[in-house]
Amino acid sequence: MLVSTWFIVVFILFWIAGPLTQLLFLVAPSLHHRLGLTEEDALKPEFKWFLIDEQAIAIADMTYLIAGIVFVWLAFLGSDLALPFGIYMCSCYVFVACLAIPRWLMLERHGLSPLPPQQKAFYLSYMGAYCLFGLYGLFHLWSLSLA
């Protein structure tokens, strides 16, 4: 099985932007916030519930942190065993994006969002890109599995 190099490069970029930054959130939350990766108001006391929710999401994201490492490693080795890990990763991208977008919109609608308006467009486009790449990856990897 041969996964194209450009797919792996884009995959690694999304992997760095997703689960790797979540690892940083778990290990060094203040650094994560200083780098601008945490919603601006998330550290305020009234949003403690949001921070706990984000920690739970970050812990869950560790499954696809590991799966991403395994996928890239096996893909570089040319192993067919990379496919299930890649398909899992791409389905996680689609799943997470399809949950995050309505979550932010509903929180904002009810006045519960720690996300400032100037970050909203960036976050929504970021999750839209995750969803599109995840869908493309599912079709791409599935087609490789049929070859």
**Per-residue b/e over 37-75, b at no fewer than 16 CB within 10 Å?**
ebbeebeeeebeebbeebeeebeebeebbebbebbbebb
What pLDDT does residue 147 have? 72
Of residues 131 and 2, more confidence is placed in: 131
Give tens-digit pLDDT for 75-90: 999 899 999 999 999 9
| Percent of the chain's residues with pLDDT above 90 | 37
What does the alpha-carbon distance between residue 104 and residue 97 come to, in Å, rounded to a whole number? 11
Q: Where do the structural domains in the chain lie, given as residue ranges?
A: 5-146
Choose between 134 and 1: higher pLDDT: 134
Calculate mean pLDDT across residues 64-83.
92
Residue 118's pLDDT band (cuts 50, 70, 90): confident
- Evaluate if residue 40 carries a pLDDT over 80: no
Give the torsion sign (CA, 79, 60, 31, 109): positive
